[in-house]
Amino acid sequence: MLINKQIGFIGGGAMAESIIRGILHAELVMPSQIMVNDISCERLAYLNSTFAIATTPDSQEIIKQSDIVFLTVKPQVIANVIDTIAPLVPKTTIVVSVAAGVTIATLQSKLAEVPIIRVMPNTPVAVGEGISAMALGKYATKAISDPVAEVFASVGRVVTVSEDSMDAVTGLSGSGPAYAFVLIDALADAGVRVGLPRQTSILLAAQTLMGAAKMVLETNEHPAKLRDMVTSPGGTTIAGVHVLEQKGVRAALIDAVVAATERSREMGKR
């Protein structure tokens, strides 16, 4: 679906780099089909030497050259970016924003009748195991969104949600890697506490969480059922699960997602 499509990135930071790496690794496009804009000449030089892609310090050049434009900039600068490019964006260009908290309506007010897609990816896209939630604007049909979904599928998995779910997505999967890192760190500390070397503990903890997550995704079984499969009567696992329930770990994780969701809503109102 991306054959003969020119792809542009306004903002050449870590997210843009992850997406570029993913689509090139999946061979969805050739390097000659990609152009990146950034305010840092050093960053542009790095991206050019790493991926053999075109770069430019001029964001308007991205609009002139691209069929799909990814806005991979920080939320606090996106207003200036839109003001700069809006006069040049044709109605045939697909605009994809990954700026957290910036609504489709905000973008659409400056980009009339342009198909806009808002995406919330999370940081594991950097290793090809992210999850990206897409919300489609008024003019973004399924035929328009399919190539964008293909791009994000190259760095993980993709779901389509209504835009009013984006704050909840942010609270769960957007912030979720941080929760997982806390769990891995705590499990590794526990391993050290019971006598394991630090690096061995980190490896055991990280691989255990990754394996458990893969079982959920590949078996399509409910996590509670998979938990029951490893929880023998009177065994070690139920003893550990009992302590987790006593200490309120489940409630703490629920509260963390709720708090992050509410914070996302507050930020979106600014």
The reply, when asked if residue 10 is annotated as ligand binding, is yes
Q: Is 12 marked as a binding-site residue?
A: yes
Q: Is 14 annotated as a binding residue?
A: yes
Q: Is residue 240 marked as binding?
A: no
What amino acid occupies position 79? A
Q: Is 11 annotated as a binding residue?
A: yes
For the annotated binding site, the residues are 10-15
For the annotated binding site for NADP(+), the residues are 10-15
